């Protein structure tokens, strides 16, 4: 259904959630007692199992590859650790660090291709399979341990463009490995875009997100661009050229549609809306589905990742409601 929407076809509203495989699930927590996070990402059989669990348990219309946006840099000599969030032990501080940043080949990401092949074989034909990568700016933010000023310094030192080209190529090769495994859709996560005013977004994020998006599409996949930044960044984000835009919860689907016109939209229930009682959840979900009927393709999702405090009961209720009401 999602792939059909990205190809301009009319379908009922599909539903999946960002971070749908995660700590709110008892089955996920049980696996986490056996394996650390990186192991879960790098062993294809485990990654595939984690990805399919929420589809099996809650009936989501898509599975998303289980990994992390920084995993493609785990072989780049940056001393990546999760505590539980990502921490870079060897951040980019000088020209030598920049020169030592390794760009991996597509073949270095065989684990991703294998995980997606396993996942594709287990999914029924009516379910979509979504791969994903981080946007170059969001990845750069983490590689610099959140020091945005360092981006300006790199630009002043004449290293910024080359640094971002390296980052973009590494991300692209990770996406290609997923596409080689069978992912027909790639979602690009630009979760740190909101840190930039529009003028800076056009300098530090947009050119590289657009290049990544264009290259992924050339390689044969459809794209979804998820950005945090609301209506303030929407006009600039539109220039990325994605097949679909995943929007946050800061405005309504109708308001975002005024910017994105005839393009499909994904979103945009606030994650904390799933922490309330079911009557309130029902009201909010129906409102978003109703708005989605009036645009050129709508994928029901959240405005950000599912919160670990969410109950499995509320997730099951939300998915079932979308299926019944769409």
- List, in order of start, the domains of the chain with CATH numbers: 2-325 (3.20.20.210)
What pLDDT, on a 0 to 100 scale, did the predictor assign at position 96? 81
Q: In sequence order, what DSSP letters do the residues of 19-80 get, joined into one string?
A: T-SSTT-HHHHHHHTTS-HHHHHHSHHHHHHHHHHHHHHH--SEEE----TTGGGTTSSS-E
Cα gap 285→303, rounded to integer Å: 12
- Residue 60, φ and ψ in degrees, nearest 5: -55, 150
Query: What is the per-residue pLDDT for 78?
Result: 87
pLDDT < 50 stretches in the chain? none
Write the DSSP string, 248-311.
-SSS-HHHHHHHHTTS-EEEEE-GGGGGS-HHHHHHHHHHHHHHHTTSS-EEEEESSPPPTT--
For position 67, what pLDDT does the model report? Answer: 97
What are the start-end ranges of the H helices in 78-159?
95-100, 110-122, 136-143, 149-156
């Amino acid at each position: 259904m999602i792939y059909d929407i990205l190809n301009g076809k009319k379908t009922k509203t599909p539903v999946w959630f960002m971070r749908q495989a995660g700590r709110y699930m008892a089955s996920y927590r049980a696996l986490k007692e056996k394996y650390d996070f990186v192991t879960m990402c790098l062993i294809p059989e485990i990654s595939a199992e984690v990805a399919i669990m929420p589809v099996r348990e809650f009936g989501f219309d898509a599975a998303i590859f289980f990994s992390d946006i920084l995993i493609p840099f785990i072989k780049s000599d940056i001393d990546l650790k999760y505590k539980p969030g990502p921490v870079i032990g060897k951040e980019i501080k000088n020209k030598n660090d920049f020169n030592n940043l390794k760009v991996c080949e597509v073949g270095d990401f065989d684990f991703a291709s294998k995980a997606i092949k396993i996942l594709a074989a287990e999914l029924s034909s009516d379910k979509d399979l979504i791969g994903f990568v981080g946007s170059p700016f969001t990845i750069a933010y983490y590689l610099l341990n959140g020091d945005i000023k360092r981006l300006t310094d790199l630009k002043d030192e004449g290293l910024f463009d080359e640094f971002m080209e390296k980052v973009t190529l590494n991300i692209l090769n990770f996406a290609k490995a997923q596409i080689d495994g069978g992912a027909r859709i790639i979602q690009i996560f630009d979760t740190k875009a909101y840190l930039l005013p529009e003028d800076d977004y056009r300098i530090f994020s947009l050119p590289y997100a657009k290049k990544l998006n264009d290259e992924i599409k050339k390689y044969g996949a459809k794209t979804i661009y998820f950005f945090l930044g609301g209506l303030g960044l929407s006009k600039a984000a539109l220039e990325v050229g994605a097949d679909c835009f995943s929007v946050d919860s800061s405005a309504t689907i109708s308001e975002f549609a005024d910017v994105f016109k005839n393009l499909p939209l994904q979103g945009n229930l606030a994650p904390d809306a799933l922490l309330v009682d079911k009557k309130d959840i029902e009201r909010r979900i129906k409102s978003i589905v109703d708005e989605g009927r009036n645009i050129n393709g709508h994928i029901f999702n959240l405005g950000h990742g599912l919160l670990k405090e969410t109950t499995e009961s509320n997730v099951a209720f939300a998915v079932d409601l979308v299926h019944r009401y769409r």
